[in-house]
Structure formats: C-alpha cells, structure tokens
A and B are shown apart, each in its own frame.
Chain A
Amino acid sequence: MRIVVVGAGPAGMAAARTAADAGAEVTMVDSEPEAGGQYLRGRARFSHAGVTHLKNTEAWLVEGNTLHLRGPAQLRFDALVIATGAYDRPLPFPGWDGPGVITAGAAQALAKQGVTLAERVIVTGTGPFLLPVATALQDLGATLVGVYEASSPTRWLREAKAITANRHKIGELAGYRKVLPRLETRTAVIAKHGDRVTVAKLDSRWRPVSHRTVHADLVCVGYGFLPRTDLLPDARRTNDFYDVDERQRTSVENVYAAGEVTGIGGADLAEAEGVVAGAAAAGLNPPAKAVEAVRKGRLFAQALARAHAVQPGWQTWPAPDTTVCRCEKVRLEDLTGATSMRELKLTSRVAMGRCQGRICARNAAELTGVPFDGQRRVIAVPIPLGELAALPEEKKS
C-alpha cells in the first residue's frame, strides 16, 4: 500500500505517521526545507519510521494515481492525502500594494525566523490568528500601534455550543494577554499613505462610520484564509474548501484531504483530521478519539467562519484607482461589466498574472458581483517548459 501525503504541516505529519504505523509505505512531499508547515515552520523535527520525507519538493499535478513533482518526477499512489493548508486573504485598500504592507502570515513567518520588520506595526484583519502575529512582532521589540479586528466580539455570543466543546481555545487567549490592551474591535485600516495610516471604526457590515489617522511603518493584513486546493481542481468544494466525509475522503476516488484545505480550525483540528485521513487512507477505521476531536473542532471551525466572515462593507474601502490585482496592476475601475469570472479576467487581466488569482480573484469577484468559480487551476505551481518536455513517455498498456 503506497500512500502519498502532500504537505508537512500538522495535518500532513499526522496523516503520514498514522498511515505508516498502519503499515503503509508513506511518502510525505513538502515544498519547504523542514517539516512543520506555516504553524511550526521548521521546528517540527519530523522523523518517523516508514515515512520518506521529500523536502523542497513541489507537486504540480494529480493525474489518475500519479502525483507529478517538479524535477520532473512521479510518485504512484494507492491513496493520496492532500494537506496543503491555506494562505492569508488580504483585502485591498488605498496603499495596500505599496511599501510597508504585508500579509499577517508573511509577518509571522518572518518573525519566526527572528527578522525584525519595523519599529511601529499594526495588525489588521479578522480572526484569532491576528493575536499570535501581534504577539510575535511585539516579542521581537516592535511597537504595536494597534491590533484591529474588523468583526464584533459579540458575534461569538451566539456560538455557545462551539465554545463549550472547545474550552481549551479560550485558554490559548491567555498566551496573547500582552497584546490584548492594543486590541480594538470593529476597527480596520482602510488606507495607508507613507506612514500615515487611516484607521476606521466599522459598523456591523464593515462600512466605516468614523476614522482617525495614526502613524506606522508596517501594516500586517489578514482577513481569514483561502485554501490551497490547486492540486485537485475537480474535487467538490464549498466556498473553495474541499468537501470531505467522515473519513476525510474527497469526491475524487482514493484522494483524502486534511487540515486547513477543508476549513480553518487551528492546528489541533488539522492534526486530528490528519490522523483520521492517514488511518482511512491505509484502510483502517479511524481512532475514535481523533474522530471526536474532529467533530468538536469542526464546531469551532464553523463558528469561527461565521463570527469572522468577511462582510461586504469592505468593498467601500478601495478607491476607483486602488489596485485590486497586484501582478497585472488592475485597478478597481478597470473591472467593468463582466458576468463571469472568465469574462472578467479576459477583459481586465485581473487574476491572470504570476499569482494566478490566488490573492485577488476572490476580492475581484466580490467587488464585481460575478460568481467566484473556485479558481480551477490545472497546474498547481509554475513549471519550466523544459521540465514538461522531459516528462516520461507514457507506458503502453
């Protein structure tokens, strides 16, 4: 039984370990030099009997029971586990494409490497992820001007069931107590010009109701996460996250998904999903403890998605000349009159550049009202033509 796991974050590592312990021959593929994913970033020290860890390796296409890797190289599998995680979603505002604005995830990654980024920093966005980012920056000596949460904390009052099932999540907040005095809710950065940053108070739909100017060198932006689902464009998805059943199976035969590609719920949920996926992929019944952890974690993930859902009022932040797509320099006013994503792309070039819409497509869809089509990319990472030309000849069956 050959099992391939893509991604070496909490979900991928758990899936690889579980499948190997069940006797499968496991290969874990990851694009980073060390295991850990965004969450542990090289601090995982992964080593497990029965798991071959392919580092610095990018996967770019799933074709039948073959995973194509950069090189080119191919891995045949009996079961595949996709645990490729998610990346931050920025929202555009005047100045977001200029110097001194990065995603919250990028800020955290740099902070974990001990890089001091700036003196005066702001973290703006929505969701509990803002707190560890702010904490990491403060620990490195930055002056935290503010942590701005666009949503209202009262939204969590409706989520008693999810909170009761996940009390440990409340405990995690204690670790961020140093930054809580800087936290302002219903607040967001809506413009930045040089070090002058416009901070607005928002109504419940995120429309600005008042604003003030503060000074900062760096603004870190994170409005939730978008799943990295490029490897399996044909799998059924909801709101772009893979649909999975109770065994973490996707709609594609022999392909499982675990972690943030199925929904955002934190590292512990990702790990539990990895255990379930690894066991199921190896043909075992998933351990009851992991199944229960997934059930509880999903309650939290769903509550999180509701409480921190991006509200449409953000669409009033950009000006007509604000960049929406950085790769192709497409401005808000360039997005006109399309009825489909494809038409929008081909008339404005939004989402046609290097990032292939990973950053901007969702925002462009919401700004124009065209249906977001889930971005069906058939090549998951850029690959030189020479590598494509060197693909092996097909075996005659």
Chain B
Amino acid sequence: MQPDVVVMGAGIIGAACAQALRARGLGVLVVDRHGPASGTSAAGEGNVLVSDKEPGPELGLALASRDLWPELALDAEWEEKGGLVVATTSGAVVPLQSFAAAQRAAGVDACEITAADALAREPHLNPEITAAVHYLQDAQLNPVKATRTLLRGIEVRRTEVSATDGRSVTTPEGVISCGAVVNATGPWARNFGVNVLPRRGVVLVTTPIPGKIRHKVYDADYVGAVASGDADLQTSGVVESTQAGTVLIGSSRQRKGFDDTIESKVLKALARKAIAMFPMLTNVPVMRAYGGFRPYAPDHLPIIGEDPRTPGLWHATGHEGAGVGLAPATGRLLAQLLTGENPLVDPHPFRVDRPEVMV
C-alpha cells in the first residue's frame, strides 16, 4: 500500500513530523540511510532550551515545543533540570540582564539571581561570576530514546533517496509513490533544494562525577556564538551533567563542510572555557569526544513548509543546534500546514520562499 507521506530522515525532526502526521490519520513511511537518530540528533546533548533564544519566531516555536515535550518524552529520560546562564565579566552583566528582561516579556521564565544564589545552586561554580539568570523551563532528554518514542508504530525503512518530485521518492530498491514528501534530512537537506549547510560541533565527555553539576550552565557569550554566522571556530562554555553522572562540555561551532577530524585547538578551547566556569573540572578526565553537524540556514531560522517550486515537497530542517528543542512544534506545524489545519504558530517566518533559503 502506498503511503500518504514519505518522511526522509529518521532524526528527531523527521520523527516528530511522522508522529504528528500519523496522529492526523495519515499513512507515513520514514526512510533513512542509517536508521533512527543516527546523525545530528544523537550528536548533541538532548537539550530543550528556551534560554538561548531571543524574542522572535524561533522563541515562539521553542515555547510551543516546550509545552508539548513532557507528554511526548515519557520514556526518554525527560529532566526539567533548568538552565543557569552566568556572566563572567563585568561587561557582560548588563547585556545578560537586558536579554533576560526581553525574554521575560516574551513569556520566558527567566529569574535574575545573585551570584550567591547561583553558588548555592551550583556549589562548584567559579565564585568570580558577575551575574546569573536561572531559566526554569530549560530541560534535557535522551534524543535517541525520544526519537524512538516518536517513531513508535511507524514504519522506518533503511534506504537512501536519490531524488524526489514531491509525489514519489527514488531509492535503489525502486520508486515509492506517495501523496507528499517531507525533507527532514538535517544537514544533508541541501540535496533536496534548500540552502542548509553543516556547522560542526564537538562535545567532550568526562568520567562520571555524579551530583557535582546540577543544571545546564553556560556562559552568557553563548548566545552571541549561536547567532554568529562566522565560518571560523567559535567556542563558548557550556557545561552540564547527564543522568549517568558524566559531564558534557561544549560548545564549538565551525563551518568546514562534513570534515569530522577532531582538532586539538577545539579541545583546548572547550577545556579552557569549562574550567573558567568550574575550576574543579581541571583534574577531571575527559574520556571521549564526539562531534556532529548542525543543519545551519544562513538566516538562522528553521525551514518549515511546502516548496513553491515542487508542489508536494515539504521541508522541515535548518534547526541548527536546536532541533531537539524545536521538534514537537515543528512536526505539529508541518502536519497542520499539510492537512490544512490552523497552525499553532505563525508559519510565515519559516517559509521556504526566503531569499537565503532557495537554492
């Protein structure tokens, strides 16, 4: 039986789209070269963040997603750990506080706390911090488990699509006809006509030190690094622990295609920034490093909607490093647009027909 929709890509975005389409009664087939969550989705920290987003359409999508996740992530180690953003210089105090004030006005739960409060919440934090904001909505999940949960009851076929015309996909095993196609191929989405580029990131993982670090803690300069489009290496201190007690250390951003070589300069920069925030990490061993490619759109906004050039071809990609956090609302928005329902957020900012996006 031919599916109503073929979703290309079994990452967190493809899975969320498939789940939302299926919930609307459509027959869905998901295809992926390597299987569920085998690319970008498993290469991050599983963050569901509102703290790093400035007021605007992406924050709206993030807040909508944040509301949807708890019931979707039941078997996915969902943890409402909260985020702690700290300023480490006197110059960073005012920008952090005004950023948080603007977010509060847009509906984010952002509490300014004193350095002493921050140290009470994170006892190993560098006491030299100059300001801190506590974000209660920031959460974390296991992205592979979340992807599998979303895909429950949906057929996932391991194959590679070489071409699509919006009414079928061509695979080595033959052509699969369908009513519509969703391109959720993340950093590889460019193969199907949208301007998405890979932006490399590396995460360091320490040996377990359970209970030492409690929140996702990051340096206020992170927001600037996320928003930058610079190809050169950008790093910012991001530190958090997992349920297993290991500490994850990020974040780096580099545009160098799909080159996945680990560079010592990246390891050095990440280590320095992490130690600056948590001096006690100096003697903690790193036992592995892993990396991945964020799907990066030049104007830093996700691409969600139908391709005006190819009716039947829909895109859901370009979420950069925020795919896990944005997935449920992305899936729902795409399914609503595809079935003609009223959308949960304004879809216009995410449309495919943007000058930076059409290639």
> Residues of A with Cβ closer than 8 Å to B?
61, 63, 68, 234, 328, 337, 339-340, 342-343, 346-347, 349, 352-354, 356, 377-379, 382-386, 388-389, 391, 394
Contact = CB atoms under 8 A, between A and B. Distances in A.
Given A343-B42, A347-B145, A385 B35 contact: no
B43 to A, nearest CB: 9
B288 A377 contact: yes
Contact of B289 (A346, A353, A379, A389): A379
Interface of B: 34-38, 42, 142-145, 148, 158, 204, 206-208, 244, 246, 249, 261-265, 267-268, 270-272, 274-275, 281-290
A54 B36 CA distance: 45
Nearest to B284: A385
* Chain B contact residues, majority secondary structure: mixed
A384 B282 contact: yes
A66 B35 CA distance: 36
A347 B41 CA distance: 13
Contacts of B246: 352
Contact of A389 (B38, B143, B244, B271): B271
B34 A384 contact: no
Given A379-B289, A384-B283, A388-B204, 9 more contacts: A63-B264, A337-B148, A340-B35, A343-B36, A356-B287, A379-B287, A388-B271, A389-B268, A394-B265
20 contacts: A68-B264, A339-B36, A340-B38, A342-B37, A342-B38, A343-B37, A343-B144, A346-B145, A349-B244, A356-B288, A378-B262, A378-B290, A379-B288, A382-B207, A385-B274, A385-B275, A386-B283, A389-B268, A389-B272, A391-B265
A388 B275 CA distance: 10
Contacts of B267: 388, 391
A185 B123 CA distance: 59
A385 B38 CA distance: 28
Contacts of B282: 384-386, 389
Contacts of A378: 262, 288-290
Given A385-B281, A385-B282, A342 B42 contact: yes
A347 B208 CA distance: 18
Contacts of A346: 37, 42, 142-145
Contact of A383 (B42, B158, B285): B285
Nearest to B205: A352
A352 B208 CA distance: 11
A346 B244 CA distance: 11
A388 B268 contact: yes
B284 A384 contact: yes
Contacts of A63: 262-264
A101 B271 CA distance: 38
Contact of B144 (A347, A353, A382): A347
Contacts of A356: 287-288
A382 B264 contact: no
B273 to A, nearest CB: 9
B286 A379 contact: yes
Contacts, number: 98
B262 A61 contact: yes
A385 B272 CA distance: 8
Given A339-B35, A340-B35, A386-B275, A391 B264 contact: yes
A61 B265 CA distance: 12
A232 B277 CA distance: 32
B238 to A, nearest CB: 14
A346 B248 CA distance: 14
Contacts of B262: 61, 63, 378-379
Interface centre among B208, B261, B264, B272 (most CB of A within 10 A): B264
A394 B271 CA distance: 15
A61 B36 CA distance: 30
Given A339-B36, A346-B42, A388 B286 contact: yes
Contacts of A382: 207, 285-287
A343 B274 CA distance: 28
A356 B281 CA distance: 20
Contact of A328 (B36, B244, B272): B244
User: Which 9 residue pairs across A and B have the least CB separation, nearest first?
Assistant: A388-B271, A382-B285, A386-B282, A346-B144, A339-B35, A389-B271, A391-B268, A378-B262, A389-B272
Given A337-B148, A340-B34, A384 B286 contact: yes
B264 A339 contact: no
Contacts of B272: 389
Nearest to B41: A346
Contacts of B142: 346-347
A222 B68 CA distance: 50
A352 B144 CA distance: 14
A339 B30 CA distance: 15
Contacts of A352: 244, 246
A210 B55 CA distance: 70
Contacts of B249: 385
Nearest to B243: A349
Contacts of A337: 148
B77 to A, nearest CB: 10
Contacts of A391: 264-265, 267-268
A384 B281 CA distance: 8
A270 B282 CA distance: 39
B286 A343 contact: no
